A and B are shown apart, each in its own frame.
Chain A
Amino acid sequence: AQSVTQLDSQVPVFEEAPVELRCNYSSSVSVYLFWYVQYPNQGLQLLLKYLSGSTLVESINGFEAEFNKSQTSFHLRKPSVHISDTAEYFCAVTRTSGTYKYIFGTGTRLKVLA
């Protein structure tokens, strides 16, 4: 079975500072990896995804994540955060075949301070 661990429940960071949100997964089979963002009072939105190919994936708003198979990690990073990045971030995993289930982590609440 797959599982996802987000070790940090909350991450406070000052505006324009870099941030890393950690995600580790466990799976005995190949997986697809996703980061979703949830702004207050909204549903989740896809931020970026890793399916195959280049291990570094980027979003349109400056976030990036790197798939590290040996460390089973998919950490999310941004070199300079903005107040508007304040949100909850969820890492998710699915198998590349078989059961049609998405497994989500418990979420990391990013709070950007002025």
Chain B
Amino acid sequence: EAQVTQNPRYLITVTGKKLTVTCSQNMNHEYMSWYRQDPGLGLRQIYYSMNVEVTDKGDVPEGYKVSRKEKRNFPLILESPSPNQTSLYFCASSLGTRSVLSSPLHFGNGTRLTVT
């Protein structure tokens, strides 16, 4: 089954403790992206990647890091989480570079992160 898999689904952590949220897709998609969803703000893009070793900042990249060492994986890293990073996070992927802007995004089921 074609899917985007995020882990964990729920995560509670404390301020300053490094964490990684994993994202994997099995559709051979070139484009991958991370979003955070907050009430009243909709989805905001954190980082995106056009292909292996190619990443770029979205609208809210502060406090986050990403890497794209393999095509299928795009982990989100919070090196020193803070309470304002408490949010619902989604990973998404899309078909390919030439058609990425017209191809739909495929989303994971989300990771609800709480930072105390």
Chain A interface (Cβ within 8 Å of chain B)?
6, 9, 32, 34, 36, 41-46, 49, 51, 90, 94-97, 100-102, 104-107
**Does B81 count as interface, using CB distance less than 8 angstroms?**
no
Q: How far is the CB of B5 from chain A (nearest CB, A)?
A: 11
In the assembled complex, the Cα of A98 lies from the Cα of B105 at a distance in Å of 17
Interface residues of chain B, those whose CB is within 8 Å of chain A, are 4, 31, 33, 35, 40-45, 48, 50, 56, 58-59, 90, 92, 100-102, 104-105, 107-110
Q: Tally A-B pairs: CB < 8 A.
A: 58
Contacts of B48 on A, CB cut-off 8 Å? Answer: 100-101
Question: Would you call B101 and A90 a contact (CB within 8 A)?
Answer: no
Interface of A is mostly: loop
Q: A102-B33, A102-B45 are in contact. Are A44 and B109 (CB under 8 A)?
A: no
For A49, list chain B residues within 8 Å (CB). 102, 104
